[in-house]
Structure 1
Amino acid sequence: MTVNVGAFRPAAACLLVGLLVLGAAQPAVAAPRRAEQWYVDELRIEQAHKLSTGRGVVVAVIDSGVNANHPDLKGQVLPGGRSDGGSGDGRADAQGHGTHMAGIIAATNASSDGVDGIAPGAKILPIRLDDSAEDDAPYDDVLVSRGIRMAVDGGAKVINISLGKPSAVTPEEVSAIQYALDHDVVVVVAAGNTANGSVKVDAPASVPGVIAVTGTTRGGRFWSGSVQGPEAVVAAPGDDIYNAGRDNGYGWGDGTSDSTAIVSGVAALIRSKYPNLDAPNVINRIIRTARDAGPAGRDPQYGFGLIDPVTALSANVPPVSANPLLDPAAVTSPAPAQSADAAEEFDVTQHGDRGGPTDQQVMVVVIGVAVVVVLLLGLVVFLIWNRRRYRREAALAAEVPDHLLDQEPPGGYGPPGGYGPPTGYPPPPGAGYAPPSGYPPPAGYAPPSGGYPPPSGYAPPGYGPPGGAPPPPPPPGSGNRS
């Protein structure tokens, strides 16, 4: 018996010797790591993350363990266990296969040039099978069965099994999987690889009720290294899958192991987006929103079709009361809930992640805050400028020299030459104006006390009563005393 794992190609040929990060050697690739993840773009994972990131969901990885110190998995890996009874909590991985699966599911792209996971908000529960550091370590159905039960008891809502054997299932496997299904857990299992000698769907992927996953290449073509069979449920990318690897590094994987991890990540997205859905309805949503490929309906290569994360998160899917993979009517009549074309038109604002605000909502809030801050800064700048301008003007006025200012002479200003007050205008206080030479006083104008002095050479005319009348008597007291 051999482990059904993807051929994990060495990454050393594509790595540069290089960077030390926090004291640990980190290999660097010639091209950005995210650019190698063609499947992330083909599955529209960035768009899917606007709907859900898998927050709050625990995914168990039953494998070779998971390196919890990998830069793109730090903080993502919970204490797990070992189904072989050895010491440790599963957070170590000498082989690198389990770390690769965990990275596909939940890598956070936390390093300077890291990789993306399908469900970066999910947590990984590692269940380590043994201490083997070899890719071809024998599959042990007892250890796998025990690991399934450990994962269920550890709180996992999705179980990823990226391994198997080309032989019949055992009662232990059937019992363990039934235990998981009875506890509302979605079980996702690799269908198997032809390179490992498999010619039909491996065990335990052949157990009814699990999601058996086959592999595809770029563009959705069926991968020639994948097995096929009537037990196939969905297909997902499995060729040249780039993600985390052993020794804190990165590498490529080929196989239905990688395809299975992708589907497990999608199951986590759904369970986070729809926390009230039970496992049968999560499975139902996956198979009814898959994009049909190959022969119409369910077929041995693609099962119900190609996994479609965005549609699975946004389509209106009728509920079911039982696991559709155990219901013959559901198996023979998938009745997709929504076409691929209709899925393109969905509005992400109607399907926010239940765990918090969507990226669009956050962007609107950030833009609003930025506008308010800019307006406030503009107001402050204007007030400062206006105050400084006022102070400059006041300073300029205060600095005008005194000799440039008009000085009023003592006693005030005299009238200009030749000036006389207009008719009826009272004379100014004091002595008043002296009439100019030869200027008669205007009509009605009374001369000042004492009168005007007569001009030079002037004699008053003789005075006598008119018409020869006798002169008036002198006023009393005007004569001399006797």
Structure 2
Amino acid sequence: MSRSIARPVLAGLAATVLTGAAAPAAATGSAPGTAPTCATPLAPVRPVAALPWPQQRYDTGQLTPLASGAGVTVAVVDSGVDRAHPQLAGRVLAGTDLLDPGGDGSRDCAGHGTGVASIIAAAPRAGVAFHGLAPGARILPVRVSEQQVVEGRESGRTVSADEFARAIRWAVDHGADVVNLSVVLYADDPDVRSAVQYAVDRNVVLVAAAGNLHDSGDPRPFPAAYDGVLGVGAIGADGVRATFSQTGPYVDLVAPGTEVLTAAPGQGHHRVEGTSYAAPFVAATAALLRQYRPELTAVQVAERIVATVDPAPGPGHGGGYGAGVLNPYRAVTETGGGRAASPGAVVTLADVRADPAVVARQARRATARDRALLVGTVIGAAAVVVALLALVLPRGARRRWRPADPS
């Protein structure tokens, strides 16, 4: 494919908008000095209170006391991020807009980048169960595309490959510790390859979507296929690879990518699917690690994430699952490197592992319980003996019983 037609494509499929009463529309006016507003504003949607299945799988109650991503900057190179969403307010830095120069990356006419960013850093909010995996992280938006593949067809505007490469470099130069690339370029472009190496050389963790064209023969996706980039495929709530998720050696691991709840521009939430939405779970995990273990290099962070995956569902799965299924809790808490888990049964909900302190406390309780049972048994037996003596001895005295004379 020639460079002249190589274009980044957002790796999200058509979103399913939740039905119900519409929330008030987001404001469409632009602040002075920002890019113009969207030609066709997205329809508003209502907030969703239900607990999303990825949060059941990744019990953030275990993670929050350890790390939240605080102090870590995650660049979202995407369709922009709406900082006005209630769960993203105060969490989105001033970025840049390479699609419509003059903006700061906060305009999102596709809703894609806002959803990706929310998986990473959406704040907890009363009445809403959904929140990001690393809610303490800060999002650096870099707007590059509105183009998505819907029903096998590309639609929407996007920057050129060289501008996409410039976006990666811009993110690195402006303090990104992690860069999320839910964008696929189906051509090996030298500028993009060079930009990826630029980020790797500067100790930045790169996470990219593996693409959604499995039914089209799994064309090689970039940047996921470059060395130094974590390529992420998608699974459903059952732990099985999503049918659209591409397979190949560029898939390093998989994460939730179907029926994923995300924030929508303005307010409210969407249910979406695509490897676009699997990648930010991995990027968020990288943010947690960069806070919790700041001494680790970007390469070590990536190695640790891959080494602590959960098993993929059964042998013979080829490149569809990579090393296995993302487990943020293991990535943060387990010590040492180690190899990735071998194939086996996959756990579909939160993988709750025993805390050593809890195990010790349970052992102490079991010992105390056994002692109590023993003491209770002895006391009970003594009580029976006393009762029998109280009953038998008076009768013996009346009958003049005597001990047998040993002589």
TM-score, length of structure 1 as denominator length: 0.62
Distance 1:2 1:58, change over 3 A: closer
Match of 2:93 in 1: 78
Match of 2:201 in 1: 182
1:5 to 8, 11, 17: 11
Distance in 2, matches of 1:82 and 1:303, equals 33
Q: How does 1:389-400 map to 2 (within 5 A)?
A: none
Q: Which runs of 5+ in 1 are unaligned?
A: 320-332, 350-482
Residues 424-465 of structure 1 deviation map (CA, whole Å, 9 limit, x = unaligned): xxxxxxxxxxxxxxxxxxxxxxxxxxxxxxxxxxxxxxxxxx
Match of 2:19 in 1: 14
1:89 to 87, 104, 122: 104
Match of 1:42 in 2: 57
Displacement after TM superposition at 1:299 (Å)? 4.1
The answer as to whether partners of 1:61 and 1:126 remain within 8 angstroms in 2 is yes
Residues 251-289 of structure 1 deviation map (CA, whole Å, 9 limit, x = unaligned): 011100000011111111111111111101101110110
1:142 aligns with 2:162: yes
Match of 1:280 in 2: 299
Deviating more after overlay: 192-201 vs 285-294: 192-201
1:302 aligns with 2:321: yes
SS of equivalent to 2:135: coil
Match of 2:46 in 1: 28
Deviating more after overlay: 1-10 vs 217-226: 1-10
Displacement after TM superposition at 1:142 (Å)? 1.6
1:292 aligns with 2:311: yes
The answer as to whether partners of 2:207 and 2:229 remain within 8 angstroms in 1 is yes
Q: How does 1:323-338 map to 2 (within 5 A)?
A: 334=340
Distance 1:94 1:285, change over 3 A: same
SS of equivalent to 2:320: coil
RMSD between superposed Cα atoms in Å: 3.2
1:256 to 275, 280, 292: 275
The answer as to whether partners of 2:146 and 2:157 remain within 8 angstroms in 1 is no
Distance 1:53 1:241, change over 3 A: same
2:337 to 281, 303, 318: 318
Distance in 2, matches of 1:298 and 1:116, equals 31
Match of 1:437 in 2: none
The answer as to whether partners of 2:23 and 2:267 remain within 8 angstroms in 1 is no
SS of equivalent to 2:354: coil
Structure number with greater Rg is: 1
Query: Aligned letter for 1:280?
Result: V
Distance in 2, matches of 1:77 and 1:214, equals 26
Displacement after TM superposition at 1:78 (Å)? 0.2
Q: Which runs of 5+ in 2 are unaligned?
A: 1-6, 30-42, 359-407
Distance in 1, matches of 2:236 and 2:278, equals 10
Distance in 2, matches of 1:63 and 1:147, equals 10
Distance 1:150 1:34, change over 3 A: farther
1:345 aligns with 2:354: yes
The answer as to whether partners of 1:200 and 1:228 remain within 8 angstroms in 2 is no
Structure number with the bigger relative contact order (C-alpha 8 A, sep ≥ 6) is 2
SS of equivalent to 1:62: strand
Match of 1:156 in 2: 176
Query: Aligned letter for 1:121?
Result: G
The answer as to whether partners of 2:58 and 2:327 remain within 8 angstroms in 1 is yes
Deviating more after overlay: 191-200 vs 148-157: 191-200
Displacement after TM superposition at 1:110 (Å)? 3.1
Deviating more after overlay: 172-181 vs 134-143: 134-143
Distance in 1, matches of 2:274 and 2:233, equals 9
Distance in 1, matches of 2:317 and 2:194, equals 27
Distance in 2, matches of 1:111 and 1:70, equals 14
Distance 1:33 1:343, change over 3 A: closer
